[in-house]
């Protein structure tokens, strides 16, 4: 079983690093790579909208009454609760 104290310490160390890091501290190649990864994620998401599995997921969400939340499904005008947005 993992040591909870060690995990808490590691979590705090990571959180502290994130909070203290400023944009100017991040090397330009890392910023560029992050931008490329975000763009890739958006592209793959939009491409995936055309597949049957994506249509099925949206149909399932509609079937359970999941439409009408705060999160917009990327590439659509559909709004769903945030926990459902990740599966559409």
The residue whose two tokens read 């793959």 is 44
What pLDDT shows up at residue 7?
61
Q: Model pTM?
A: 0.65
Over residues 36-47, the pLDDT tens digits come to: 999 999 999 899
Whole-number Å distance between alpha carbons of 11 and 6: 9
Least confident window among 16-25, 30-39, 48-57, 77-86: 77-86
Kindly state whether residue 88 falls inside one of the protein's structural domains. yes
pLDDT tens, residue by residue, 29-74: 999 999 999 999 999 989 998 999 988 988 888 888 778 888 888 8
Q: Look at residue 63 in the predicted model and tell me its pLDDT.
A: 82
Cα separation, 88 vs 80, in Å, equals 9
**Residue 10 placed within a domain:** no
Judge whether 13 lies within some domain: no
Residue 79 included in any domain: yes
Full domain range(s) for residue 83: 28-88
Domain count of the fold of the chain: 1
What span, in angstroms and rounded, lies between the C-alpha atoms of 12 and 25?
20
């Amino acid at each position: 079983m993992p040591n909870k104290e060690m995990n808490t310490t590691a979590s705090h160390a990571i959180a502290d690093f994130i909070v203290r890091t400023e944009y100017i501290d991040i090397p330009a190649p890392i910023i560029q790579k992050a931008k490329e990864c975000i763009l890739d994620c958006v592209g793959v998401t939009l491409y995936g909208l055309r597949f049957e599995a994506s249509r099925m997921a949206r149909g399932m969400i509609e079937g359970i009454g999941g439409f009408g939340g705060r999160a917009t499904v990327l590439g659509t005008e559909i709004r769903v609760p945030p926990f459902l947005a990740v599966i559409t």
